[in-house]
Structure 1
């Protein structure tokens, strides 16, 4: 699944114009080009450089990545990123705690980080969304992909998938894609959600 997502990302990146590449992504502070370059970090930097950065930033993955990604984006053109993703599609990266599900989730979320600001449609594979949604409401994502406290008291229900997760009396409903982006802190999808827990989630994502 990870290998296929990397190949899909290569196709996407190779299809973009220079103007699209320098458009701000949904990943705050990063352009589309920087998000794309970040996906090559596992085999270029390796665990010896990535894991210490994550630890330095208290398992805040985005901050650790920001420390590493900008130089990488300068070094790699879009064409080179596409070649890197294809050549290393089968690369195994098993970071502590989050494991392979962290990689699968990263690829799916960053694909939408790129496509949504550009007005592009990128369908996610339901089976893969289910794995990532379950990962995001579980303990291994807490403190890295999902800050502590974001999910407290909330239960999430997908309207287009047979999935619900989280513990709480307040409910947040939306498509699997919208929940994936909301759980990882993208406020752009808040208007696509419904339920008694949306106000609480809105406050946490926009604080």
Structure 2
């Protein structure tokens, strides 16, 4: 499957998830700091829903912090109903939006990780597609994965998925489901207890000290 086809499929699945949630679920905390589930959904839609005239004032008000500007943008877009956000994703499912450096691989990974940022705290089971999560894992352990976890976190370790044919790295092994590995490698500490192997304790120790 071509990369844009994978991204389009993940956008459709994200839209399906948003539409399936109750108002209470949308207002629940996500795994993304102080963001609610609704705000995470808004963040995913932001490349298509944000107005160009918003960006410079947001950056200036955020003292040139892209992180703070993104957070404010997500809160602003989250004022729209979830159904609108889902419709926006579907309208743009084949939009070739490609962030600098990380490109469409970053988009594919972002969609999968943020869907789990929503599903995990809501008690919903993981639902990752094997081919697409394998592609995301290859990207996360590669050199272009700027902003998707610290290289110091994974250095000198070998990661092995227990539910699909994927492994990467050299050193003490860290074993777990592909979903748990993806979440841990992108800085989600909630997945760390699910990992095993002689390298798992080292990864847990690093996660406390390394800012992802």
TM-score (norm 2): 0.85
Aligned runs of 1:1-207 on 2, under 5 Å? 1-45=6-50, 49=55, 57=65, 65-74=70-79, 76-142=80-146, 144-166=147-169, 168-207=170-209
Question: Post-superposition shift, 1:72?
Answer: 1.7
Whether contact under 8 Å (1:4, 1:89) holds in the other structure is yes
* Structure 1: gaps spanning 5 or more residues: none
SS in 2 for 1:173: strand
Aligned residues: 198
SS in 1 for 2:184: helix
Whether contact under 8 Å (2:50, 2:77) holds in the other structure is no
Question: Which of 126-135 and 2-11 deviates more?
Answer: 2-11
Question: Post-superposition shift, 1:89?
Answer: 1.1
Return the alpha-carbon distance in structure 1 between the equivalents of residues 159 and 68 of structure 2: 26
**Off by >6 Å, runs of 4+ in structure 1:** none
From the superposition, tell whether residues 47 and 205 of structure 1 become closer, same or farther in structure 2 (CA, over 3 Å): farther
* Structure 2: gaps spanning 5 or more residues: 1-5
SS in 1 for 2:77: helix
Give the superposed CA RMSD: 2.2
Return the alpha-carbon distance in structure 1 between the equivalents of residues 151 and 161 of structure 2: 22
Question: Post-superposition shift, 1:46?
Answer: 7.7
Question: Post-superposition shift, 1:123?
Answer: 1.3
SS in 1 for 2:78: helix
Question: Post-superposition shift, 1:200?
Answer: 1.7
TM-score (norm 1): 0.87
From the superposition, tell whether residues 27 and 194 of structure 1 become closer, same or farther in structure 2 (CA, over 3 Å): same
